[in-house]
Structure 1
């Protein structure tokens, strides 16, 4: 049996796991994202223990928070670049893990990797263009085109797409103000409404405004990429009814401009993750398994 090391590296926690060639998660453990030295040391120790337990591996899939340098010709390829996460800017995480664990490391953004996993095994199967969006503490989006994650000048930063037509609130992104992340992330909701999203009642106006922002966002994704699948994941999307309201607002915003193929519409295109809570972790595996 072949085994793979997997990391879903987020700004809050590193989710580490061993999986086999049948996509079964054998073992899993989480570590808080503190300093690079402390967190990477814990991650290395975990995988060394897994090897001693008989789960030897030669490849590690790293679905990592960014921004990342994903240019393979760059001297800093595989490094986290200029991130607001304290002390993590310019950390050569790919090289550090390769050296410490004597294995090859495949790296992409956490959301690009999740989009790839949904394309291979989840809600976005049999598509040419698919998008995965996580709406959690922040908002990030990954794009897969013809089975390949999108990497151009850098990589997609869909969460910082500007949103208009929502005068009820003012965005709090320190870089762009009224971008998706500044208006609709979990952190933004807490700042705008002065209490965490989970504490807001079902009838609180925050949820209708949240759906409007995300609906406008989906409008932009549809006219920019013409995706056959938009998967909306992340903790904020767990709110009952939010997905349905988001689709309604996207339909209102598009105003029947897009002519959909037979038996296709936004209800078939905008969906929850097919892989549940494991899109990110299986994304790390998707970077390794063809």
Structure 2
């Protein structure tokens, strides 16, 4: 009897990462990355990689977890028509893999932030943690939620990157309104994702990493991201907020966000103070591997 293999697929806006193996640890030894292009140009090399690895590993793919860029329809298994990636509009990625690998008995499909949220949750669920949020801040802002062991979805999936937040005084002074094409003035993603820094400073995205730690821009970032944390705490009562993505490589942001979050709550939440907040707002344990780890964990659901 052939070994049963699991597959994790992390679908990002710039690249797709695929892992295959007997279990999560083994799958992390067999990883393939391809650039996100059109559907056909992206799916074909992934399919060929999986076919090749099935043969090499002497197994059959039985379970697939997909953590994909959005917006998506979690229940149907497709990318929604509102994606700016034209060829991906309405593409049903779940049906694609069921068709190409008919022996697969389960495909679990979720967002590229709910996947990492599930991976991070698996590390803490035995310690009494029932709720966790995963936030990624890069070219956009995404939020995944796990509550009582399940990722959250409903009308769609969490889109907390597009909540409205009070403007930072400097933005009020300069009239900066963000870059979100759907929402003007106060949309979190438009005000705090990396293109907002680029737009404020009129620099290249590659120059963001050269901005000094003492620059005011990081206080502005902390202002908006702390408002997100306050909303997550008050609405979902999440016990842990994991923060990752390119912007959070700027490690000074953690203390700034923690301090501002406590300040905004202003004593209202009796469980949160300057000490406890350190165990609530945290960096990702998995770092850049959070997405693919999340996809592999989804395959186990």
TM-score, normalised with respect to structure 1 = 0.92
2:262–2:274 contact (8 Å) kept in structure 1: no
CA distance in 2, matches of 1:65, 1:124: 29
User: Could you say which residue in structure 1 is the equivalent of 2:97?
Assistant: 97
Provide Cα deviations, 1:196-242, integer angstroms capped at 9, x if missing partner: 22132222221111111111111111111111100001111001311
CA distance in 2, matches of 1:192, 1:86: 29
Matched position secondary structure for 2:257 = helix
User: Could you say which residue in structure 2 is the equivalent of 1:175?
Assistant: 182
1:123–1:274 contact (8 Å) kept in structure 2: no
**Correspondent of 2:144 among 135, 138, 142:** 142
CA distance in 2, matches of 1:266, 1:93: 39
Question: Is residue 266 from structure 1 mapped to residue 274 from structure 2 by the alignment?
Answer: no
Evaluate the alpha carbon distance shift between residue 64 and residue 152 of structure 1 in structure 2; reply closer, same or farther with a 3 A threshold.
same
CA distance in 2, matches of 1:132, 1:242: 16
Question: Is residue 65 from structure 1 mapped to residue 69 from structure 2 by the alignment?
Answer: yes
Provide Cα deviations, 1:162-219, integer angstroms capped at 9, x if missing partner: 1113142321111113222111112222223222221322222211111111111111
1:119–1:126 contact (8 Å) kept in structure 2: no
**Correspondent of 1:36 among 34, 39, 46:** 39
**Aligned 1:225-240 pairs, distance under 5 A:** 225-240=236-251
Q: CA deviation at 1:31?
A: 0.9
Q: CA deviation at 1:22?
A: 5.2
Query: By percentage of residues, which structure has more helix?
Result: 2
User: Gapped runs of 5+ residues in structure 1?
Assistant: 72-76
User: Could you say which residue in structure 2 is the equivalent of 1:14?
Assistant: 16
2:63–2:300 contact (8 Å) kept in structure 1: no
CA distance in 2, matches of 1:131, 1:66: 17
User: Could you say which residue in structure 2 is the equivalent of 1:85?
Assistant: 85
- Which range moved further: 184-193 or 248-257? 184-193
Q: CA deviation at 1:121?
A: 2.3
Evaluate the alpha carbon distance shift between residue 125 and residue 232 of structure 1 in structure 2; reply closer, same or farther with a 3 A threshold.
farther
Matched position secondary structure for 2:71 = coil
CA distance in 2, matches of 1:262, 1:242: 18
Q: Give the number of aligned pairs.
A: 285
User: Gapped runs of 5+ residues in structure 2?
Assistant: 172-176
- Would you identify which runs of 4 or more consecutive aligned residues in structure 1 move more than 6 Å? 261-264
Evaluate the alpha carbon distance shift between residue 203 and residue 86 of structure 1 in structure 2; reply closer, same or farther with a 3 A threshold.
farther
Provide Cα deviations, 1:80-108, integer angstroms capped at 9, x if missing partner: 00212332211111111221222242111
Evaluate the alpha carbon distance shift between residue 88 and residue 18 of structure 1 in structure 2; reply closer, same or farther with a 3 A threshold.
same
